[in-house]
Structure 1
């Protein structure tokens, strides 16, 4: 039986890549993003490859929080049920604190945390009504420690997103709810958001990274570094390094 999977930020990058992987598995897709022209191109390509699935599109700016709730509810009304929601939309702006770039850091904080919160609220509203569902949040390997320079605010938002996800898991476990929550910690995956960044260690192409992300989601685990190698051991070590050593590395 086909599942219905809702993905935000699906017009490019990790969202697009995950949509391709789920489509290949025969899943129906509810895709949303700001750039509807790219969503339409993606839909047409996927349907040509996988004609038996259903794909629905909606324009969505996740910073418009009322629209987040409206779009999620519209998808649920259209499909009848939503089996999985992937909170993926985000941005990678950021500058060192105190350098006059507060607006960029604020935008990163608002989009990656407050707007992610809106998506999680809207998703859980649906899942609580259904009494089932799988919520997936896309954090980052940078969430394991505070990061310096341009990544400071970005990493902090991903820490917050991971904490929201964990708190929700605790609540659902206490209630013995069938609703599941998975947090992904992607390592360096080459997408439009980082295509100009050079000399990035252990980076993989988008297809390899998205395959690993979908494999991790399907595993049912609560938290996953992706790709698992080398990011699981790197994450383990980074969480334990003294600040003095982190300063030398970064």
Structure 2
């Protein structure tokens, strides 16, 4: 394999699951996130099971454009060709109607989900141009396909990811870089806990009675998308739990 994948937001959730699944597929892993301790724990977990895996970890807040550029410029020589970029870093904060939404929540979502994706993509794409099998995976959401009550700004940011994915597909066509969007429905990770600012009881209620998707479910789909032959590009995938029909219509047992 020997393909090098860079995963943002790799310390938890879908990003962490991608690291675990792709390590088993033989990828070299460049992992970044804000939580250094969790990155190191993930690295140790992978190396315990797969000691030959090549892993490079670094702390990064994708909202900081200068830090993103500096981190990519400072990559060791052995990590300066990136074959796969997984733009996973993203979050939701708050679930308030637009007239009473918190500006700090809006800024965090816009800065992470849109601007962070742009900063990382702009810095990493030049490192992908020498790859013969380059692929960008953008993690979107069902919220990028529809709008649900009180989802306003989060939905707007994921609609932006959907649009940027389409734009990247066009702009990078002549470079031979494949671009795919993965849009999950309910995935039981830290997502709701972050959305509700640490309110674990409220977060648990989101998934009550639902066999939700796991980070591993999404990571396995991403591994499939990445494994297609070079002439195949899966542009867009919407993945839902069987119990979920739309963003808000869910069959709870």
State the TM-score, normalized to the length of structure 2.
Answer: 0.83
Q: Do 2:135 and 2:226's aligned partners in 1 also have CA atoms closer than 8 Å?
A: no
Provide the residue aligned with 2:235 in structure 1: 222
Between Structure 1 and Structure 2, which shows a larger proportion of helix residues?
A: 1
TM superposition outliers: structure 1 runs of 4+ over 4 Å: 129-132
Question: Which residues of 2 match residues 147-226 of structure 1 at below 5 A?
Answer: 147-149=148-150, 151-173=151-173, 175=174, 177-194=175-192, 196=203, 197-199=206-208, 201=210, 203-219=212-228, 220-226=233-239
Q: Do 2:80 and 2:127's aligned partners in 1 also have CA atoms closer than 8 Å?
A: no
Provide the residue aligned with 1:241 in structure 2: none
Q: Which has the bigger relative contact order, CA under 8 A and spacing at least 6?
A: 2
Q: Number of paired residues?
A: 234
Provide the residue aligned with 1:242 in structure 2: none
How far apart are residue 101 of structure 1 and its match? 1.2
How far apart are residue 130 of structure 1 and its match? 5.1
- Secondary structure of the residue aligned to 1:92 is coil
Question: Which residues of 2 match residues 14-163 of structure 1 at below 5 A?
Answer: 14-75=14-75, 77-94=77-94, 95-128=96-129, 133-149=134-150, 151-163=151-163
How far apart are residue 23 of structure 1 and its match? 0.4
Q: Do 1:61 and 1:68's aligned partners in 2 also have CA atoms closer than 8 Å?
A: yes
Equivalent-residue separation in structure 2 for 1:73 and 1:204 (angstroms): 36
Q: Do 1:73 and 1:126's aligned partners in 2 also have CA atoms closer than 8 Å?
A: no
Q: Do 1:216 and 1:224's aligned partners in 2 also have CA atoms closer than 8 Å?
A: no
Equivalent-residue separation in structure 2 for 1:200 and 1:64 (angstroms): 39
Q: Do 1:216 and 1:226's aligned partners in 2 also have CA atoms closer than 8 Å?
A: no
Provide the residue aligned with 1:12 in structure 2: 12
Residue 131 and residue 206 in structure 1: after superposition, are their counterparts in 2 closer, same or farther (change >3 A)? closer
Q: Do 1:188 and 1:202's aligned partners in 2 also have CA atoms closer than 8 Å?
A: no
Q: Do 1:4 and 1:83's aligned partners in 2 also have CA atoms closer than 8 Å?
A: yes
Q: Which structure 2 residue ranges, 5 or more long, are not aligned? A: 194-202
Aligned alpha-carbon RMSD (Å): 2.5
Residue 100 and residue 141 in structure 1: after superposition, are their counterparts in 2 closer, same or farther (change >3 A)? closer
